[in-house]
Each structure stands twice: as structure tokens, then as C-alpha cells.
Chain A
Amino acid sequence: MVESWWVSTLARGLAFSAPLLLAALGELVAERSGVINLGVEGMMILGALSGFAVADASGNPWLGVMAAAGVGTLAALLHAFFSITLRANTYVSGLALTMVGLGLSGLLGKPFAGRPLAHPLPKLDIPGLSSIPWLGPGLFQGQNALLYLALLAAFLLWYFLYRTRGGITLRSVGENPAAADALGVNVYLVRYLATAFGGAMAGVAGAYLSVAYRPSWTEGMTAGMGWIALAIVIFAAWDPLRAVAAAFLFGAFYHLAYRFQAHLPPEFLKMTPYLFTVLFLVLGALGKSVRLGAPEALGRPYVRGER
């Protein structure tokens, strides 16, 4: 009994944390370059819809995932154009992206609603590893390939950020764009690329929901996860490996809240993502690493010659 509790919490928590982690890693890269994109929720839902539509039409779920990444990228580039090139208010632009994404997906998604996906992404059982006691069944049984992709991405990103030339460039642009510019780094290009990566990851996160986790399309199916992803970035102090832990914590919490739904009013369940977001932001703000970890130029457009 104890074991089944633990296994299901681990398994479901992980499954639920995958889209959070994917979206958070993307946003983390964007923010490391100095760009805040509050449009994560919008990019996710657009990714969810386009992922479902393409997977449904082609019969190939991986094509759906790729389409979602492409659509997420396009949406992010829109934000990049407004906030980096036109230097419009970056918060308003991101919020607008979320609203447009939610509205547009609701409109375009009508014909897909309530239809199950014939060929979702398969669940994997990894032989051998899944028989490890306690950990095995949760980690390696019935999980989706995208979860492992997300975990791999976290490790690769950590290595990229701290151990490569590209990482130095990306972090420098987010900390002190003037310093990077003075050494011939194209600040705008770096920010565009980072923002686009954030969009692609958010799109994939959305596709995880509609092509793998719950292979169907429902209006508003991201249910505030984009906001949680934003909170995870802060709570993780902009570190990819901490993001893994933070995403799992969120996933596990959410799963537990879900389990107790019989004892809770449904409004409470709807509120949980936002409640956790606020809770995590408060916890993060109390810690030192979040205050000191934020990229210094976060949210500030760069203009050569202005200080």
C-alpha cells in the first residue's frame, strides 16, 4: 500500500512535470538572454492545438510534436519582434501573446474538440530498469519519451550554459548586454534565438499534453501550466538542474491535490496551480539564490549607447 502510493506519486508527478519542465527550460533560456516572455501559456496552447491537428491528420505523433515546436517558435518570434526590435513593453507583449493564443486556439480548435487521437505518442517500458524497486516502476514504466527528452535537455542545457562558449555569450547578454556588444556580440541575434528556443520548447510542452499525456484536444487544456513554468524558472534561480527538481515538486503537488479532489471543492483544484505559483514565488523570494541569480538585464531592452 505504501509502495503503491509512492510509486503512483512518483510516476504521475513525473508525468505531470514533463510539460512544466519543457516549458520552463525554454523560458529559462529566453530569460538568461534578458527577455521575459509571459506568453508561455499562449505558446503552449498553440503548440497543443497544432500538435494535435498535425498528429491527427498525418497519423504520426512525432510530426505533431515538430509542428508544435514550429508554431511555438513563430509565436515567440512575434514576441521577440515586439519586445526586442520595437522595444514595446515586454510584459504587455507577453500577456497579449497568452491571450491571443488562448483565444485563437479556442476558435480554431472547435472541430477537434472531443475527438481522441488515433496514434498518440507511445508509452515506454524500459526493460530491466523498470524492475528496480521503489524507483523503477515510477521512473521507467509507462512514461513518455518526451519526459526523457526533457530530462536530457535539462542536463544538456546546464552543460551548455556553464561549460561552453555559447553559454558564456548567452549569459553575458542577459547580464550586461553593453559589455557583450562592446566585444562584437550581436545582442539582438542572441536574444532572438533564445526567445525562439523558448517558444519551441513551450510548443513541445503543449504537444506533450495533446499528443501524449491526454491524447485529445480540449479548449484551455494547458490550464495555467504556462504560469507555473514561469514560476519554476524563478524558483529554480535560472538553473536547469534546479528546474528539474522544481518541476517535479510542482508535478507531485499537483498530483496530490488531484488525488484528494473528492474531499476538496472543485474550485480549489482549479486554484492550485496559481496557489502553488504564488507559494513558490514567496519561497523563492525568501532564498538568497533567487535574488542573486536573476539575470541583471532581465526585462530591459538594449539600446546601444544608453546606460
Chain B
Amino acid sequence: MDGAEASPPSQETPPFLELRSLTKRFPGVVANDRVSLSVRAGEVHALLGENGAGKSTLVSMLYGLLQPDEGEILLAGRRVWIRSPKDALSLGIGLVPQHFLLVKKHTVAENVALGLPGVPFLAPTRGLEVQLRQLGERYGLPVDPRAYVWQLSAGEQQRVEILKVLVRDVRLLILDEPTSVLTPQEARGLFQVLRRMKEEGHAVIFITHKLEEVLEVADRVTVLRRGRVVATLPVAGASRARLARLMVGEEVAPPKAERTRPPGEPLLFVEDLWVKSDRGYFAVKDVNFEVRAGEIVGLAGVAGNGQSELIEALTGLRRPSRGWIRLGERDLTGRDARVYFEAGVAHVPEDRTHRGVVPSLSVAENLILKHYRYPPFARGPLLDRRAVRAFAADTVERYRVVAPSVDAPVRLLSGGNIQKLILARELYARPRLLVAAHPTYGLDVGAAAQVHRLLLAERDRGAAVFLVSEDLEEILALSDRILVIFDGKIVAELSPGEASKERLGLLMAGVAA
């Protein structure tokens, strides 16, 4: 760029990918502000940043889903324009998205054959099956090409996504938050695959907000904060603390789990609980446990092992087929969600944008979704708008919800702020039991810390907290007791002292330990 000085070919080969001052603006925000970075062949380059730091925008531009407003993308020293995923693939850029883009009803081979150049019109998957087995062996990605995708675990589905990209002879592989759906063991397997690809001369961009992963697998790391590159540095010699500081911009204290008083009497009783899934089979099988007042019980498990159905049963959203749910002396089995709510059960749902809020309603309206029937918000059949707005203004400030105004629709809020809003609403009624599902999934470090503080405060106030999470660090840091669910059954109950990530990972995978 700097004319004469930079151009002489004194430097070795140009980097495989180079971004120069890439800028992307959305109404009201600069999502990427003059982002420059380079990725070499045979390198795993981590892109580290909190949610909203601009990682996804950057990836979307690299994969042709968005067009940069300014700046250039160079591939092996030549300027390129990537206008669609098709362009990206033909340039040798492949993406493994965070939310898999697979056709669940189709086989692995059919998913790979989709849109693949050179596939014959008749019997399109025949040759592919052999090729997939070979690739799987070479990179350590075993998958049965004839299996249907809906039969596969999240880790296996991710392998299909990677194979889809590898089959296309991709030189640069972008992985967007690839470990968010994996068990620790599966994540380690993925890192092996990445090292293998590195050896084969591929360039890898690895997007994450987890520091350990950067330290474990990356060669260099670029830290993004609020759309800007804060630093690019080699991982060797970088410390966890330094990366955290760069990413967050301030020192974050880990939540202190020390309690002010011991747990009280058992409050939630779940006995012999059997719950069916939407597909009609038993997703929760013979589950028994208790949660005491002033106690956090964590439920660890890989997604899809019955957690969702259990949560829905515990909050009155799904009727159990058998068994009992009691809160204190009160039998709530088979009652509907409002009875649960009025009995003191609060719910932070796993799908926060679809179940937790009504995206098109305002912040204020969402805050009173559960309380609108009662004073001070209700005056007879009417709503007291002034009371609602005053409450909303106060709550937004207390919970530090960043919103344009209390009248703005909630869909404009970021995930972290939506979560704070949900917690504010659920905690307003001072619940006796809080069921929190993946409360910090996808949140940045700052927002996650605030959510953790709120959960601990609820515990100290004397509420029973049932925490369902796939984030084992979260489970280990907050829980007084840990249950592990596999295939609908509680397979272990551990104290935080006897639990470790490794042990939990094995239990979650159904391996007896």
C-alpha cells in the first residue's frame, strides 16, 4: 500500500489472505472499522473477540454474504471481490458456520454433493462415498456417508460441515465458534483435525471468544474489540490474562461463588419423572432429584439429551407422562405455566429470542409480560402506562440493559441485553425457584459475569436455582451440586470437588466413569 516501500518482493511469498482496512457500516454502528489482518498458509489464526466485536461481520464479508463498504481483500497477493458464497468457494475459501447449514433429512453424502461441481447427474453420491471415507481417514474425520444427518451428534454434524469444505479443495478454512456445541473430548478431536490441516498447508481462521482455545490451537491471534483490531500477536508467549485484557479492555474478576449462608430445606422435588419429546419418544426417563432453597444445582449434558424437555416440564410448558413435580408442599404436576409462575417458578429459557421475549414488542412491554395482570401495572382491565414506563426505566438502569429507549422493540437489542432484560423480568417477582437454561450462551465476558452475579445473588437470597448449561466452566464455578444427564437419565451426581471437566465430559458422552 505504501507505494515504493512495501512493493519490493524482498518479503517471501505474500500471505495467503490479506485484508486491508475493511470497513462495514450498519445503520447506527460501524461493525468493522478499518480491519486489517493477514493469514498465512499453514497457520491457524485465531480471531478473538466478545460478542458484538465484529467477528461475524468480518466472516460474512470473507464468505460473500456481505459486501465491505471500504477496503480490499487480497488472495495470494491479488485483489479479489467476493460477491457470493459461490465466489468464495471458487476462490478456495470455505466456511464452517456456527449454526450448521445441513439438510437434516438427507444423508451425509447428499449434503456434500449439494452444489458440488463435477458431481455426475445420475448416481451423484456413488463416487463421493469413497472420497469421503478417504478424506475422513486422512484428516481424522470419520463419518458414515450414508448416515442421515438427523441421526448424527453435533460433533459428527460438524465433521460433515468440515468435509463439505475439504471436498471442495479449499485452501482457507474459516471456523465460526466451532467448539460451542462440542464436548471437551470432541473439541480436542477438532483441534487435532486443525493441526492436521495446518500440516497439509491449509490456512485456518478460528473464531472464538474462549481464551483457552486460542492458547491451545492457534499460532497467531488477532483481537477484535468494538469492530477494531486491537492487536495481532503470536500465541507463543501470550498469556491468558493479557488476551483477556485485550479482548475486554478491562480487568474482569471471576465471579466469587462463596456463599453467605448454607443451603436451606429442600424446595423442589422431582420424582420418577418421565417426559415425552415432540417426536413421541421418552426424552426424560425416570429422573429424580431435589434442589434446596439457597442452592444452585447444575445440570451438565450435551444438547439433545433431554434437557429441553426437562426444563419445559419444570416450568409447566410440557406435561410429564409420569412422575411428580413439587415445589415445597405444593404439587404442581400437570399444571400449566401460569400456575408454576404464580407458585414462584421463574424461567430463563434456552431460546431467548423466541421464547424469552416477543421481539417486536417494546422493552417496557417485554419487562411486564408476566406481571401485567397485577398491580401496579394493571388497573382493572387497563394498563397503567405510566407505571409500566417508570418501572421499565428503573429496571433498565438497575440491570444495565443497553437499549435505545424503553419504547424500542426488543429485536434491536443484542443477545446479552436481551438476557439481562429476561432476568430482570423473571427476578422481579422474587421467585422461589429459578430455572436457568444456558443463561450465558453466546454472551460476552462482561454480560456473562453480570448474569453469574445475578444467579449467585438469587442463591444468597434463598432461592433454589436449577442451572442447565453446556458450559462446563460455568457449571463448575457456580454449582453446589452437579447432575449429569445422558440419554434422558441422570447418570451421575457430583460435588464440585469431585467433578472436573474431563470427568464431566466422559459422563456427558455416556461413558461410565
- Judge: A and B partners, yes or no: yes
Q: A residues bordering B, Cβ < 8 Å?
A: 163-166, 168-169, 171-172, 175-176, 178-185, 296, 304-305, 307
Question: In the complex, what's the smallest C-beta–C-beta distance from A176 to chain B, in angstroms?
Answer: 5
| Cβ < 8 Å to A, chain B residues 86-122 | 86, 89-90, 95, 97, 99, 101-106, 110-111, 113-116, 119-122
Given contacts A163-B123, A164-B124, contact A185 B102 (CB under 8 A): no
| Cβ < 8 Å to A, chain B residues 60-76 | 60, 63, 65-66
Given contacts A164-B121, A176-B101, contact A183 B106 (CB under 8 A): no
Does B164 touch A at the CB level, under 8 Å? yes
How many pairs of residues, A versus B, come closer than 8 Å at their CB atoms?
70
B106 touches A171 (CB 8 A): yes
- What residues of B have a CB within 8 angstroms of the CB of A181 in the complex? 85
B115 touches A183 (CB 8 A): yes
- What residues of B have a CB within 8 angstroms of the CB of A168 in the complex? 106, 110, 113-114, 124
**Interface residue tally on B, bucketed by range:** 20 to 34
A165 touches B103 (CB 8 A): no
Does B192 touch A at the CB level, under 8 Å? no
Residue of A nearest to B117 (CB): A184
Q: Closest 7 A-B residue pairs measured CB to CB?
A: A184-B86, A183-B115, A179-B101, A165-B124, A175-B103, A185-B115, A176-B103
B95 touches A182 (CB 8 A): yes
A172 touches B121 (CB 8 A): no
A184 touches B89 (CB 8 A): yes
Does B450 touch A at the CB level, under 8 Å? no
- What residues of B have a CB within 8 angstroms of the CB of A172 in the complex? 103, 106, 110-111, 114
Give the residue of A163, A179, A305 whose beta carbon is less than 8 angstroms from that of B114: A179
A182 to B101 Cα, complex, angstroms = 8
Give the residue of B66, B111, B114 whose beta carbon is less than 8 angstroms from that of A185: B114
A-B contact pairs, 18 of them (CB 8 A): A164-B122, A165-B119, A166-B121, A169-B115, A171-B103, A171-B105, A171-B106, A175-B103, A175-B104, A175-B105, A176-B103, A178-B101, A179-B102, A183-B116, A184-B85, A184-B90, A296-B105, A307-B99
B164 touches A183 (CB 8 A): yes
- What residues of B have a CB within 8 angstroms of the CB of A166 in the complex? 121
Does B84 touch A at the CB level, under 8 Å? yes
- What residues of B have a CB within 8 angstroms of the CB of A304 in the complex? 65
Question: In the complex, what's the smallest C-beta–C-beta distance from B127 to chain A, in angstroms?
Answer: 12
Residue of B nearest to A297 (CB): B103
A183 touches B89 (CB 8 A): yes
Given contacts A171-B106, A305-B65, A307-B99, contact A180 B114 (CB under 8 A): yes
Give the residue of B85, B104, B124 whose beta carbon is less than 8 angstroms from that of A182: B85
A169 touches B104 (CB 8 A): no
